[in-house]
Chain A
Amino acid sequence: MKQTENLSAALPPTNPAAPLPPKPLTAKTLPDDEFFFGHKGCAGCGGALVVRQTLKVLGPHVICALPAGCMSAVGFNFPQLSFANNAMITPFAATASVLSGIEAGLRAQGIKPEDCTVVGFAGDGGTADIGLQALSGAIDRNDDILYICYDNEAYMNTGIQKSSLTPFGAKTTTTPAGAHVHGCLTRKKNMFQIVAAHDIPYAATASIGYLNDFIKKVQKAATIHGTRYIHVIAPCPTGWGTREDETIDLAKEVADCGLWYLAEFEGSQLCGMPGGKYIVNRRPKEFSSVEAYLRRQGRFKQLDENDVQEVIRERDIAWAWLDDLATGAK
């Protein structure tokens, strides 16, 4: 009773020495294996897609750790344990430090399989707020772990409260929209810039709406040693006030209208350039309408014309910064 065997009996036996698939994976060639199923996530949950697709790419020898948040809350309900690979829950603030411990423990005992990735899945709150210190510590030590932030832009598990990744203007239960204040007043903290400032070996932003790009980044991260960070935008119908069949569409649109970007950072260690290298993976020639993206979501209902203009202004500043970094690095 100290631990529970899970559903892995149904899995085919695995070869510890199996190398990663040589060919780049795409949405079409992703393995049929399922490692995250039977969970209690809402229909249309973006975060659950992040976990599911990542595990398909990383294969059966992954060990994953999840802090308090929606994905652990929906995935670890004894006796309905939803991970077919090794997995554990962590204290809310401790995703990165538990990952460090797992990796160090395996290495110190000499029992880490060649194809084993130690990966964490933490929400925006678990990453940019309470878990930021531990993440910074792990990057500082350059521990050999992959950290994935599934960003649904609020504390969803506790009922949609503001995090430091909640965007300007979003209504949450702690940033209610009324006559005086139109929702969240702060801007989204830039986690990509924060981890890059650590000269992390590899960091990327992604969206579950652009699956091939996301898969490619996970696959690339798996081949790199040291700390790796992928920040994936993952819409949440429950918290965003959208239909469950809109999730993928929204995850595309947020990148199309420029409020999210798909980019990579290769640290100096990896690319050989002092200060590292920024790569923009997708630069829309023309952004789609920010207003259209905002208006289709319940959380932005109350925004007025000035608010929308403010969002657009912030977007342009963010892109100017990113373009500058990416061209400066060429």
Chain B
Amino acid sequence: MKRFLSGDEALAEGVRLARPNIISAYPITPQTVVVEHLSEMVEQGRLDAEYVHVESEHSALSCALGASATGARTFTATSSQGLLYMAEVLSYAAGGRFPIVMMNANRALALPWNIYGDQRDSLALLDHGWIQLYVQDNQEALDAVLMAYALAEDERVSTPVMINLDGFALTHTYETVDIPEPEQADSFLPPYRTKNKFDFEHPVNIGYSAGPEFNRYYKHAAHWDMVDALPVIDEVEKRFAEVFGREYPGVLEEYRCADADRIIVTLGSVAGLVRQVVDDLRNAGEKVGMVRLRYMRPFPAERLVKALLGVGAVGGSSEASGEASGDDNADDGARSKAPAARSIAVLEKDISFGAEGTVFTNVSSALLQAITCAPSASACGIRDICNFVGGLGGDDISYEQVEGIFALLKRRASIVEDPNAALVDASAEASNAASGAAKAAAHTSPLDPRKKVYFLGIDSLEEGGAR
């Protein structure tokens, strides 16, 4: 059945189809519509779940924790300050291996107070052991709920999942969404079965303390089970496509990357805009592409590296890199298409103050490791990589800005390729240390290859432009 739904509404429909036993959530803009809709569904009898009216986000997730320990399927939803307020409980849920599914409406963090979308809330909490998925549109929001439960509850994974929707850009924007039939959903997602729960015949102690001599085993298992969830994501999506006829590209989506000399790596709803710019520039003969990260945890390092280094880029296989590079033909095919060198921009709605965007850090780390360990495995070199921070506090990321990023990458590339340019720059600085103004000018020049982090709407993407 096709309906015109907001992201929040589409997600709530997904939750209804997943039939959770327990919903415990606390309202916060822009997630509110989700909890309102779920309450309505429960009242109307369309959803046979217990809605617990908790008094805070901390209690929302704690309640889900207790319910999950009884073997119940549980759902919660939050955003921004609410996510931070429940942060303590995130590690309990992940550490206890409770497959809770949560929706997070990505929203800015105070101060200054701001209710609009950016991704600092969830990206600040990457390290708490939750699988993190970023969706691009409302259909994906609905479908993600069903796949999230399938993934979280898979015995090999047993890890909670956070589904992130850009605040307002998705939560409050209407699109046509195909709502599956309940029977279809049931055939895809069977009831939750687990051994990780209370048992009246053989009582258990759940969630205890483990000192230095044992702790590492739990953390080791949590890490590798999360890494090993990567192929499970593909399995789940394959099964999803069989039942519902909709295909998803796995942990990341490669868009027109194979022969691209410039690629924007991004995540969430802004991917729609980047895709449009890529198409338009392609029509104008420019070789540009996009990688949309769907999962930030587990981090899809292997597939990302393949996409960015041009190895086996066509088809976006998520097989182990050993297999791919063992296949000479596939490799050669990619090599012949890949450019000699390529520039990468990471576009994200996040900044880790004093460092750089968190997605940029993750992408850079994956690339550094790949290039260090096996330089010859690359089909192309990376000549430049930089970070664009935009959309903070709901700021619009415009078509022109995305176009500007691709244009800037091109101009920077010509500088990077001219060794004298960099040399002149460095020696000028050394010989004229007193000239603070010159130094500042060099650092604010968008063409300075040392400049890595650009704030969209503040930093000029044009040489000579105002800062």
- Taking Cβ atoms with an 8 Å cutoff, the residues of A that contact B are 1-6, 8-9, 11, 13-14, 16, 60-61, 63, 65, 72-73, 76-79, 81-91, 93-94, 96-109, 111, 113, 116, 133-134, 136-137, 140-141
The minimal Cβ–Cβ distance linking B287 to chain A, given in whole angstroms, is 48
Partner of B69, one of A60, A102, A133, A137: A102
Contact of B203 with A101 in the complex, beta carbons under 8 Å: no
Contact of A137 with B55 in the complex, beta carbons under 8 Å: yes
> Is B214 close to A, CB under 8 A?
yes
Contact of A133 with B59 in the complex, beta carbons under 8 Å: yes
Between-chain CB contacts (< 8 Å), 14 pairs: A3-B204, A13-B201, A83-B205, A88-B205, A88-B207, A100-B59, A101-B65, A101-B67, A101-B68, A104-B63, A105-B69, A113-B200, A134-B62, A137-B56
In the complex, A63→B72 CA distance in Å? 15
Contact of B198 with A63 in the complex, beta carbons under 8 Å: yes
In the complex, A97→B21 CA distance in Å? 16
In the complex, A4→B204 CA distance in Å? 6
Which of B22, B49, B67, B218 counts the most A-chain CB atoms under 10 A from its CB? B67
Contact of A5 with B204 in the complex, beta carbons under 8 Å: yes
The minimal Cβ–Cβ distance linking B116 to chain A, given in whole angstroms, is 28
The minimal Cβ–Cβ distance linking A120 to chain B, given in whole angstroms, is 10
| Interchain residue pairs A-B with the least CB separation, the first 8 | A101-B66, A137-B55, A105-B70, A105-B67, A94-B62, A97-B59, A76-B208, A105-B72
> Is B221 close to A, CB under 8 A?
yes
In the complex, A186→B22 CA distance in Å? 41
**A86-B198, A111-B70 in contact; A6/B205 too (CB < 8 A)?**
yes
Contact of A109 with B72 in the complex, beta carbons under 8 Å: yes
Q: How large is the interface on B (under 10, 10 to 19, 20 to 34, 35 or more residues)?
A: 35 or more
Chain B residue nearest in CB terms to A106: B70
The minimal Cβ–Cβ distance linking A46 to chain B, given in whole angstroms, is 22
The minimal Cβ–Cβ distance linking A90 to chain B, given in whole angstroms, is 7
In the complex, A2→B74 CA distance in Å? 19
Sample of 19 further A-B pairs with CB below 8 A, known A86-B198, A109-B71, A137-B59? A6-B203, A14-B201, A63-B70, A63-B198, A72-B209, A77-B209, A84-B203, A91-B58, A96-B59, A97-B63, A101-B22, A102-B67, A104-B72, A108-B50, A133-B59, A134-B56, A134-B59, A136-B55, A140-B55
Give B24-66 interface residues, CB cut-off 8 Å to A. 24, 49-50, 52-56, 58-60, 62-66
Which of B65, B70, B199, B205 counts the most A-chain CB atoms under 10 A from its CB? B205
Contact of B211 with A77 in the complex, beta carbons under 8 Å: yes
Contact of B207 with A89 in the complex, beta carbons under 8 Å: yes
Contact of B68 with A94 in the complex, beta carbons under 8 Å: no
Contact of A97 with B209 in the complex, beta carbons under 8 Å: no
Contact of A3 with B209 in the complex, beta carbons under 8 Å: no
Contact of A105 with B210 in the complex, beta carbons under 8 Å: no
Contact of A101 with B24 in the complex, beta carbons under 8 Å: yes
